[in-house]
Amino acid sequence: MKILGIEVGDIIEKVNGKIVSSTAELTESINKAEGSNILITYLRNGEEKETNINKIEVNEGNYKIGLWVRDTAARCWNSYFL
């Protein structure tokens, strides 16, 4: 399964050009991003790719992008279940 190009196992590196290294940083970047369109930069098999995803407000000031992710031992984190 994939959402706008992101597949299970992809490694998300950046949100709107800002490096993220944990789910906390991802959540903060999404919540603070202006506008509803988020640019996600991710790695698949060592190749960098980009996609745009619309964020959705779930309650005041808190947004979701439709991905469930988990932190890894590395700097980056993986999309785990879409």
Distances (CA, A) of 36 to 45, 57, 70: 28, 9, 23
**pLDDT score recorded for residue 16:** 94
Q: Where do the structural domains in the chain lie, given as residue ranges?
A: 2-81
Does the pTM exceed 0.85? Answer: no
Closest CA to 63 of 74, 51, 54: 54
- Joined together, the tokens standing for residue 25 give 């940083």
CA distances from 42 to 34, 39, 56, 60, 61 (A): 20, 10, 20, 28, 25
Give the helix ranges, DSSP H, for the chain: 23-32
Strand partners of residue 18: 15
Per-residue pLDDT of the chain (82 residues; tens, 9 = 90+): 455 788 888 888 999 999 998 888 888 999 998 888 999 999 999 999 999 999 988 988 888 888 777 766 344 445 544 3
Domain 2-81 coded CATH 1.10.10.10: no
Which pLDDT belongs to residue 73? 39
